[in-house]
Amino acid sequence: MEPSTPPERQRPALLFRWGALVGLGAASTVIGLYALYTVRAILVRVLIGLFIAVSLDPAVRWLAKRGLRRGLAVTLIFLLAFGLAAGFLISVIPPLVTQFRNLVDDLPGYLGRLQDRSSQFRELNDRYHLSDQLQGVVGTLPSRLGTGLLGFTSRVFGAVFNGLTVLVFTIYFMADMPRIRTGLVRLFPVERRPRARQVVDLVVDKVGGYMIGNIIISIIAGLAAFVAFTVLGVPFAVPLAFLVALCDLIPMIGATLGAVIGVTVALFSTNLPTTVLVAAFFLAYQQLENYLIAPRVLRTTVELGAAAVLISGLIGATVLGLVGALMAIPVAAAFSVLLNERLVAHETAAGIVPGPAEDGGEAGARVADGDVTGDAPAPATPDGDAAARTAPEAELRGSEPRDRG
């Protein structure tokens, strides 16, 4: 029998083998991260398209339940979106062009009237020749715009290309959403697929419900602002109402931003009493939206604490800007649903079911086989394994929202 190889002779080979494996693993990780970094822009567009598709999926399913084919329902929703976008552009671009032309034509007369009314401006104009400088800047503005036209055009085409890419991804995702959900469920083991399907459906429903509800609230805000601007005689009522509706989509600061824009335009285009009335309208409407409209529209969505909303909004805005801020809260709600689901599964497996909230907001609990009366819980039984096996079929009680209305 031949003697075994001494450990001292095996050690260099083993070290070389482990070093090669570690080096290959590190190189693969670096290459994979570099590849992700290279295609990060495309991945962001895919993520945005998927988020929009999930957000609009409840509307597509609602139309499909009314007898429309899914492809026709997707087409109808996008035609409506295109109509709104076209209406916004038509309401904004012609008045802006007309007002800019009028400003250029009336600038000398406006400056002359300003000198007659304000002695301070007259002194500044005599000292620094502000009127001549302003007229010179306005006169050379078309040539400056022509000089920077190439860069502006390239940026516009880049934005259009990015928007069309997101649009194409969104259309494909919306058309294939049932297949995507089924494929996601198939990634789980067979015995966990029923539970996984429940969780996926719940997450999609909560995210889509939040976004559809947010869009409905924004439309109501825009319509209310349009009526107020029209009644009070504020110019540019249609584009201002569109801006108020768009700003209302932004979490935390959107409603305030829309109110500031509306009050600022009213201040510079109307008199002081009208501006005060516009500010009073926004204050009253915000109370109505916060305590009546939003609780009714968003009553089926997952509630998040104020700190969670703030943190998720700041993280989303830091990562993806305005789009990230819009996506942050529903994504945080989805994570909340997943976390609640796991907690409920573990509690159900242990024989504990979440109970109603008690003083201080802390959730009560009860033992599945008896009420909580201060006594010690019932001892474990041999059926504990059976309870653990039936946990995946537990109801998603922890994921259901509380009614804020």
Element (H or E) spanning 132, and its range?
helix 130-147
Half-sphere exposure of 225 (CA within 13 A, CB side): 34
- Percentage helix, strand, coil for the chain under 3-state DSSP, each rounded to 5: 80, 5, 15
- Three-state SS across 249-271? CCCCCHHHHHHHHHHHHHHHHCC
Taking residue 127's Cβ as centre, other Cβ atoms within 10 Å add up to 8
Residue 388: the pLDDT is: 40
Mind listing the pLDDT tens digit for each residue in 189-238?
888 888 888 888 888 887 888 888 888 888 899 999 999 999 998 888 88
What is this structure's pTM? 0.63
Residue 111: the pLDDT is: 66
Nearest to 106 by CA among 78, 138, 82: 138
Q: What is the CA radius of gyration of the chain?
A: 30
Q: Do residues 319 and 325 make contact, with C-beta atoms less than 8 angstroms apart?
A: no
Residue 30: the pLDDT is: 92
> What are the distances in angstroms from CA 37 to CA 30, 159, 188, 266, 325?
10, 20, 28, 46, 22
Q: Please give the Cα distance from 222 to 247 (Å, whole number).
A: 10
Reading the block at residue 139, the tokens are: 């006169």
Q: Please give the Cα distance from 222 to 213 (Å, whole number).
A: 14
Distance between terminal CA atoms of the chain? Answer: 85
Q: Do residues 111 and 134 make contact, with C-beta atoms less than 8 angstroms apart?
A: yes
Q: Please give the Cα distance from 276 to 263 (Å, whole number).
A: 8
Mind listing the pLDDT tens digit for each residue in 98-127?
766 766 666 666 666 666 666 676 677 677
Residue 283: the pLDDT is: 93
CA dihedral in degrees (292, 298, 304, 307; nearest 10)? -50
How deeply is 224 buried, as exposed, middle or buried, from its count of CB atoms within 10 A (0-12, 13-18, 19+)? buried
Residue 101: the pLDDT is: 72
Low pLDDT (below 70) residues in the chain: 1-10, 99-100, 102-119, 121-122, 125, 129-133, 135-152, 299-306, 353-405
Q: Do residues 244 and 262 make contact, with C-beta atoms less than 8 angstroms apart?
A: yes
Give, to the nearest 10 degrees, the angle between helix 40-65 and helix 70-117. Answer: 110
Q: Do residues 220 and 227 make contact, with C-beta atoms less than 8 angstroms apart?
A: no
Q: How far is CA 111 from the centre of its chain?
A: 44
